Amino acid sequence: MRDITAPEIFDGTTLYTDHALRLDGETLQAIVPRADAPNAEPLDGTILPGFVDLQVNGGGGVLFNDDTSVEALVQIAEAHASTGTTALLPTLITDTPERSIRAVDAVAEAIERGLPGIIGLHLEGPHLSLARKGAHDPSLIRDMTDADEALLCEAARRLPNLMVTIAPEAVPLGRARRLARAGVILSLGHTDCDYDTARAYFAAGVRCATHLFNAMSPMGNRAPGMVGAVLDDPAVSAGLIADGFHVHPAAMRLALCAPKTDGSLFLVTDAMATVGSQITEFTLNGRRVLRREGRLTLEDGTLAGADLTMPQALGILAGLPLPRARALAMATSLPARLLGRPANHGHLRPGAAFHAIRLDATGRFAGRL
């Protein structure tokens, strides 16, 4: 047996102080009061589950759209592991059908090999709205076909987790319902749909919204839009890019006050190739993306993903009036709730394998335990 302690221990739900973790080899036995572990090894900062990121476009100088290989997934996973993310969905931004197939094959092979960190795939497009395309290549955006639907249903059978961002403009309600029944984790995004349309898709099995506020119809007093539909439905989860550029702090504060009693807002990095590298530019579908003072933009100034890590996002949340436990959950257990299998991500559970990280007293990633 081995005991370790820190000023804060977060198990995915509860934030403990003056407690210790009791380990038996690689298994967590219990979280006990500090008085019951007099010989516990003291560490500083916070011990918590590894971060769970459901939107990772790249890392380590590699963009998944440019290199849909297992070797690229290794680089991406290692880059994010170096910042505390232990479970991620590599994300393919709108691209060709052939590249989507290669992405599915690469992720399936990576999971079969047991590549650490890769737990499924997120296809962000190409079935989106041109009106809310953002940095997605408009020439590649298209309506979903029968062949696309069949591909996604087959991919959902092959992969432990398949998330797909869709827009109602490109995916009829019946298709969305069938995909949800096939096990696809559907997320609405890059859409100009109205409030009632969004609610209809939620009722059909869509469980999530992609990067809340960004690339979706805004909330107005007479037209609540997609943003209003998400904030008005406690059962719908939504990713949030907390990098100081994508969403104003006031908008984040208001979203966090919405009647989402189950705390279904969670953090995503929407990270591009820059994370874990020193590159200052790269290409997305043949277009230059520039890295300048923490922002990633196309040459016309359009935001193109984020130059963001989970510890940085938590640092942004620290400036909001948000309970510490909820902020930590937004990077761990709350995104994990959308996942199918395996089910232990985002939590430290007695009797389960112990996979934890530590943040130092300043909030920086200090290593895995």
The residues assigned a catalytic role are 270
Instruction: Work out the end-to-end distance of the chain between its first and last CA atoms, rounded to an integer number of angstroms.
Output: 15
Residues 6 or more apart from 35 whose CB is under 8 A from it? Answer: none
DSSP state for residue 49 in the 8-state scheme: E
Take residue 318 and report the two structure tokens written for it: 């620290």
What residues are paired with 58 via a beta bridge? 63
Q: Quote the CA–CA distance of 317 and 323 in Å, as a whole number.
A: 10
Q: Looking at the DSSP assignment, which residues form a beta bridge with residue 31?
A: 21
Alpha-helical (H) ranges within the chain are: 70-81, 97-113, 146-158, 173-181, 195-203, 225-231, 249-256, 310-317, 324-330, 333-336
User: Tokens 């559907």, residue?
Assistant: 186
β partners of residue 240: 267
To which residue do tokens 């005991």 refer?
3
**Region for 26 from its dihedrals, namely left if φ exceeds 0, alpha if ψ lies in -120 to 50, beta otherwise:** alpha
Measured over the CA atoms of residue 276, residue 316, residue 300 and residue 187, the dihedral's sign is positive
C-alpha closest to that of 239 among 189, 202, 275, 307? 189
DSSP 125: -
